[in-house]
Structure 1
Amino acid sequence: MSDPPFSNDPNSNGWAESAAAWIADMGEHGDYGRRYVLDPVIRQRLGERGFRKALDVGCGEGRLCRMLSGFGIETIGLDPTQALLDQARRSHPEGRYVEGVAEALPFEDAGFDLVVSCLSLIDIPGFEAAIAEMARVLAPGGTLFVANLTSFATARIDAPILERWVNSPGVRIDRYLEQRSSWEAWRGIRIVNWHRPLSAYMAAFLGAGLRLTHFDEPAPVGGDPAKAERYRGVPWYVVMEWEKPA
């Protein structure tokens, strides 16, 4: 697949140009990390807890919304990229998908007992405002479920993000405490990702008045043994659950 066309818009983050390549890359089941690392955690942590209404912030092509709906949870997906929302609606016509940004969620206070941010914080420029908004729309006693790339994975600056832990006999973390964005490209996708230290995220969650109830760095479950070994050998994802005090 050829690379997406370069955008001349200085405000572009690459998602509109990369939407077709992203949809093709994800397919129905997602990439290895989603299918064999995060999906088992999501099924275990969210599948049978009685959640009634969920918001997926940064839903993309809607794969996670379909999963949550399969658990019997009324789910709304929000994303700023129209082409991804169009695909979500084609794949899940009975679902509800809304165009918008995480920093200004178009929903009332306390409207959801579950809010999910799955690998979307690295895409959001105003992450502190986004986390505050997620806390605002979360009902008291509700859960904010977050899956993110570990900050170690985003801290390297000398290789594309998907190669940083591969073919690197001496992995070097650099400029870890510096918040910064970078263009990342792989398999026809070219988008802006953000690196932030874990402490920046934790301060934002705590500042929003949330309480940490679960923290994990999940290992892979099944799939290609070579890929599983790669995901076991180095940190890749972090999973957190935050509760809004009742």
Structure 2
Amino acid sequence: MTEPPDSAHWASVAAAWTEWARRPGHDAFWYYRDALSAFVGRGAARALEVGCGEGRVSRLLRELGHHVTATDAVAALVEAARAANSADRYAVAPAADLPFAAGSFDLVVAYNVLMDVEDMPGAVTEMARVLAPGGTVLISLVHPFRDRGRFAGAQPDAPFIVEGSYYGRERFEGSETRDGLTMAFAGWSQPLEVYAGALEQAGLAISALREPLPTPVDGHVAFRQSMRMPLFLWLKARRLA
């Protein structure tokens, strides 16, 4: 299988991402984990994670009782997920070309991956295709508004500044260094309307929306700022009647 262009970056940083993601308390995931668990809910659904990375969300889904299939376009990340016993089944597959029959899953999860997918509408269409009747698509995004601005400083009460336009699709590339680890990120920033349009085109309607708060942790200024301006946007969607 030819690797799609949007996964080339993640193939190049697979080892760095695995180390970054698996250090407890290191990035934002750990401060939203409890809220994400509550939003997903316990159960025994046939669950698919699209863009599983090294597997931490798949492991969370298993902890909640679900039967998990983990997929990613990057083989090295799927192998990292497998090595950590993250899921029940695994597949190397791009988000816009999932190797599963229609209606195979009760729950389809895309956690912070649609920003990294070049063909985002195609990925959403595939997620809708493999969703069983009555099933749920669950999407986490870096909040589109947060994505287009920055805090003026590190203080918890620093102003949030938006430069340029909220609208349009923009490529982003950058790196972050924290506690001795450096991670390079790349993807696309686009407004909420674009994501909502992709869901509508795929025959899905938003059934729940959350702008979650982190679990406050003293000393982590970036997450205290997120008590004022949401870092993530979480959506659930179901098939239109």
Q: Tell me, which stretches of 5 or more residues in structure 2 are unaligned?
A: none
Change (3 A) 1:142 1:125: same
CA deviations on 1:202-244 (whole Å, 9 max, x unpaired) are 1111121112111110011243353442111222110110012
Matched, 1:179 2:169: yes
1:165 maps to which of 151, 168, 190: 151
What letter is aligned with 1:233?
Answer: R
TM-score (norm 1): 0.85
- Could you say which residue in structure 1 is the equivalent of 2:199? 205
Contact 2:47-2:66 within 8 A present in 1 as well:
yes
What letter is aligned with 2:52? C
Structure 1: give runs of 5+ residues left out of the alignment. Answer: 1-9, 157-163
Cα distance change, pair 85–17 in 1 and its aligned pair in 2 (3 A): same
Counterpart of 1:153 in 2: which secondary structure? helix
Identify which of structures 1 and 2 has the higher relative contact order when contacts are C-alpha pairs closer than 8 Å and 6+ apart: 1
Q: What SS does structure 1 have at the residue aligned with 2:127? A: helix
Looking at structure 2, the residues matched to 71 and 118 of structure 1 have their Cα atoms a distance apart, in angstroms, of 16
What are the equivalent positions in structure 2 for 1:76-155 lying under 5 Å apart?
Answer: 76-92=69-85, 95-155=88-148
CA separation of 1:231 and 1:95: change in aligned 2, threshold 3 A: same
Moved more, 168-177 or 71-80: 168-177
Classify 1:12/1:139 alpha carbon distance in 2 versus 1 (closer, same or farther; 3 Å).
Answer: closer
SS of the equivalent of 2:100 reads coil
Q: Indicate the percent of aligned positions where both proteins have the same amino acid.
A: 32
* Alignment CA distance shift 1:131-1:236 (3 Å): same
Quick one: which of 38, 46, 69 aligns to 1:44? 38
Amino acid at match of 1:41: A
TM-score using structure 2 length: 0.86
Partner Cα distance (2:26, 2:200) in 1: 31
Count residues with an aligned counterpart: 228
Q: Give the deviation of 1:13 after TM superposition.
A: 3.9
Deviation per CA, 1:31-84: give whole Å up to 9, x if none.
4421112x2222112232x34200001100001111111222110111111221
